Amino acid sequence: MKFLVMDGIVVIDKPSGKTSYAVVSEVRRLLGARKAGHTGTLDPLTTGVLPVCINEATKLVQFFSPDSKEYRATMLLGVETDTLDMEGKIIAECEPRVARDEIEEVLHRFVGKIEQLPPHYSAVKFQGKPLYKWARRGIAVDLPPRTVEVYTIVVEEIVLPYVTFTVSCGSGTYIRSLCSDVGKILGCGACLASLRRTRSGCFHEGLAVSIEGIDNEKKRDLLAANILPLTEALPELPAINVDQALVGKLREGYQPDADALGINNFPFLSAGDIVKFMSPDHCLVAIGKMLCASEQIASLDGEKRVVKIMRVFNC
């Protein structure tokens, strides 16, 4: 079997019933990759966008973690479970007697910065172990609430007891917890019936490929044909174009000083901004953090370090 050697990101349409880890392992095996990792765990129940980073692209994962996400969720009113979704044990049931405007009003209360308790069945860690491992042992660990942000909620359909809505939110938001909290306010309880991630950062479901139901050779060809280069991974980062000589120095561990960057033309940057360095042939060379504003570089001592290189890419 011939394996492909490549670096990049493939967006998988994760099926329900599989863990994110299992999907990553399959992609790594099919492509013969040295390393592979995903940019944000999806619960086994959840389907949709799961970006998988291959080889050198695994160095990008830390830069994706704060990215916003979008989901299409269906909430079941009148049912509460111990996992806050339909996979758990039912702990309470009642007939939901609520009107459409009540449901919409309560959902919209959750737009903005909110306090949210991590579900007992989640990957959040306590004393080095994920909460779901404690919960399976019958130990309910209550962690302090976390501040998360919900940008928008749009109700798509209400056919009681089901409510389908789309939500755009910041990293770390649990839609299961959102449904449970909405149910408590409505007085009937609720849980998550189904969930699909439609976007993770710049990766949307139009880029996602499904590898279910086909043989390994076709899976491999499909994955190889849909690998996105590293240059497409962080489109929002400002780019600093460097010559081939500086490319070589960066890959050898050089930390740019004022002399090295003084001749470059780049947009206004503030201290703390994250930037990417691009080679003449448009390859991603490195990612760094500005130590000063770009407008200050020309006036600095030539040997003054102006960028802290955080990651270097050898592809």
Half-sphere exposure of 128 (CA within 13 A, CB side): 0
One DSSP character per residue, 100-114 reads: HHHHHHHHHHTSEEE
DSSP state at residue 194: E
- Which residue's entry shows tokens 């994706």? 64
* DSSP 8-state secondary structure symbol assigned to residue 209: B
Q: Which residues of 175-190 are buried (b: 16+ CB within 10 A; e: fewer)?
A: bbbbbbbbbeebebbb
Cβ 51 vs Cβ 64: under 8 Å = yes
The separation between the first and the last C-alpha atoms of the chain, rounded to the nearest angstrom, is: 23
The residues annotated with a catalytic role in the active site are: 43
Distance CA 62, CA 110 (A): 27
Q: Strand (E) positions, the chain? A: 8-14, 36-38, 47-54, 69-77, 79-81, 90-93, 112-116, 125-126, 129-130, 146-159, 162-169, 190-200, 203-204, 239-241, 274-278, 284-290, 307-312
